[in-house]
Structure 1
């Protein structure tokens, strides 16, 4: 789960472009570099948990949707400026962001972030910890007393631990889990997990109230019939948090 630290300047053009002002295809913006939430598959298409969720939400809302990819560090400004209409990119709901854009209810429950390292003795409190630029994890590290080193992509944070630039990386537990499980002991979780954010929601321009209502209704219907829980378990395992 990730978040941008941004200024109110990004909000200057909010409301100038709306997805509901005229009939159009709704463009879903994602990063495509944050498995299992969103990835680019071998055919160059967006795939992962959020691809399936997004397609199902559009079907239930009776919307024609297309997928657009955008680098994480400019994903909110490009929503506000109208390059796409919705952010669906593992984005945590935070008070800071909610001042600039709007959110649906969450489609992924509040979850934990964890530290990954190559040694049980890694110093996550006073050492060097890698985080992806402009995420709630990076902000947490910056306030923790550790030295934060930031990278543009999540894969670079892992590489920083491998090449010795960082003692550990702090990121979504669900993002880090496959690295631990598939590393044959090279990677391990250290320290205590931390719960951050209010869950993951769709980000929209504040002016797109009708579109927000349609997506909220679709998310509610997926929660009520269990289909959202099925996708959560499919991508994050039987022990993942689901909706009651």
Structure 2
């Protein structure tokens, strides 16, 4: 999971001209919270517009379900508490579904398959971490143990940057906290800035987010090490909703399922990530 305080930018959009799939329920104007600084999932343009994979998903959902919406940039650390308190109707910010989070909020159908990994400076010894290009899942106990043992050796005495209150923080504290310094940051871009400035040895985040960073700084930064999925890292990203909002969840689930089936979600994924990270029907 993932920004400079509270952005003033708020984007309000009306109903699209295309017919909605279902108008059985009038949801009014829904308030979506995101970070506005987690590209390519979401980012804020110089003129204050929030764009990215997730804003495009919200726009498509609005067309299909038939609702108006506002999407505003918020600090990640306060996003789920704000949702629970009723400040927003939904959170869409590369929020990975985990059992712990599901105790507090509901989740829609997933819209992204999730893998977490590392990036480091090309000049660093860590640029050749074992397992690069290999994804290990939590249900592969032997493979997971082998990967963790190798990373413990590589990261001993190193400093790893990660955004606070994310699944990657949980992973690092559980598996590497006894051998490496885990340095947390309020915002994802801050982790990358310290890596570029040599203040940390590596950054852990979602692979889709890391790929965008590597693409931008390919001369200096590279992906390295195993990719991990499942367990404390969850199974994919979904929209977070307050518990008990069954009608909204059902409407969004139906629309997302249709977007997966007709290929719309895959097209949006390729548009923003350059690869298909959408779930399959």
TM-score range, shorter-chain basis?
0.7 to 0.9
Residues 62 and 151 (structure 1), Cα distance of their counterparts in 2 relative to 1, 3 Å cut = same
Q: CA offset at residue 164 of structure 1? A: 2.5
Give the aligned partner of residue 253 of structure 2. 216
Higher mean alpha-carbon deviation, 129-138 vs 143-152, is at 143-152
Instruction: Say yes or no: does 1:189 pair with 2:226.
Output: no
Distance 1:240 1:82 in 2: 30
Residues 41 and 151 (structure 1), Cα distance of their counterparts in 2 relative to 1, 3 Å cut = same
SS for the counterpart of 1:75 is helix
Instruction: Say yes or no: does 1:71 pair with 2:75.
Output: yes
TM-score computed with the length of structure 1 as normaliser: 0.86
Give the aligned partner of residue 235 of structure 1. 272
TM-score computed with the length of structure 2 as normaliser: 0.75
Q: Highest Rg: 1 or 2? A: 2
Distance 1:214 1:168 in 2: 40
SS for the counterpart of 1:106 is coil
The ranges of structure 1 where at least 4 consecutive aligned residues each deviate by more than 3 angstroms after the TM superposition are: 21-24, 123-126, 238-242
Q: CA offset at residue 124 of structure 1? A: 3.3
User: Structure 2 unaligned runs (5+)?
Assistant: 3-24, 127-153
Distance 1:210 1:35 in 2: 30
**Residues 58-92 of structure 1: per-residue CA shift (max 9 Å, x gap):** 21111111112210000001011111100011100
- Contact kept in structure 2, 1:115 and 1:124, CA below 8 Å: no
Q: CA offset at residue 163 of structure 1? A: 2.3
**Aligned partner of 1:85 among 84, 89, 92:** 89
Distance 2:241 2:45 in 1: 25
Distance 1:53 1:99 in 2: 25
Residue-pair matches, total: 225
Q: CA offset at residue 33 of structure 1? A: 1.0
Distance 1:179 1:27 in 2: 29
Give the aligned partner of residue 13 of structure 1. none
Instruction: Say yes or no: does 1:152 pair with 2:189.
Output: no
User: Structure 1 unaligned runs (5+)?
Assistant: 3-20
Distance 1:240 1:204 in 2: 22
Residues 240 and 98 (structure 1), Cα distance of their counterparts in 2 relative to 1, 3 Å cut = closer
Distance 2:224 2:159 in 1: 14
Q: CA offset at residue 42 of structure 1? A: 2.3
